[in-house]
Amino acid sequence: MAQTVSVAGKDGSFSAYVARPQTPNGAAIVVIQEIFGVNQVMRDTADWLASEGYYAICPDLFWRIQPGIDITDRSEEEWQKAFSYYRAFNVDTGIDDIAATLSLARQNGARKVGAVGYCLGGLLAYLTLTRTDADASVSYYGVGIDSYLSEAARARARGLLHIAEEDGFVSKDSQARMAAELTPPAFTLYTYPGRDHAFARKGGAHYHAEDAALANARTLAFFRSELT
């Protein structure tokens, strides 16, 4: 069952898409958006996690820019809008909103709460580990993580990162620095040879069904381990 709820944040209230599981497993996952807002891809992701038993909640992190942004990656005009939202976005206040969403999930009875993020959300998923009390977090092709590697030692839980080897937004040098700094047991990194950015975005230009399925299976196994 899906619905929209209100989250009380430090700077005001904002909306979040919620997918409730038919058979709850007692855990929750915060789904962290790409630069296209809480669009169908993000709602489908929340629905997928709900089908696996998780209370899934996807907050509108662009609400300070414009509430309710919901665009696709299908036109140049939408891409330009998405990049303008990305440039206007404040990472620090975004993490505040994620922390508030984690808190709401716990208030609703979740015994443990994880996070999963994509693209911009992949960066935020990493920072969720270092700046919040999340119990686990998964990052898909996070952009800009190498600028925050000094925070790695502050991780309060385990993290999983999916890296696209040919990511047009993450250089090979950045990937190498991430691999050197984000090491077990706190971090597990998987690299997908030949894959470009957003290889798990179904319908996207770089979507790769086999590797998306592999990454998603690894994500579910990780959450089953960390959120039980």
Bond preceding residue 67 cis, omega within 30 of 0: no
Residues 6+ away with beta carbon under 8 Å from 160? 136, 137, 138, 139, 187, 188, 189, 190, 218, 219, 222
Give the Cα separation of 22 and 54 in Å (integer).
9
User: How many Cβ atoms from other residues are within 10 Å of residue 213's Cβ?
Assistant: 11
167 included as an active-site residue = yes
Q: Cα-flanking dihedrals φ and ψ of residue 162, to 5°?
A: -100, 120
173 included as an active-site residue = no
Q: Which of 97, 146, 197, 211 is catalytic?
A: 197
Q: Which of 60, 135, 167, 196 is catalytic?
A: 167
User: What would the two tokens of residue 228 be?
Assistant: 């039980």
Give the Cα separation of 97 and 94 in Å (integer).
5
Give the Cα separation of 114 and 54 in Å (integer).
10
Three-state DSSP class for residue 187: strand
Tell me the catalytic residues. 167, 197
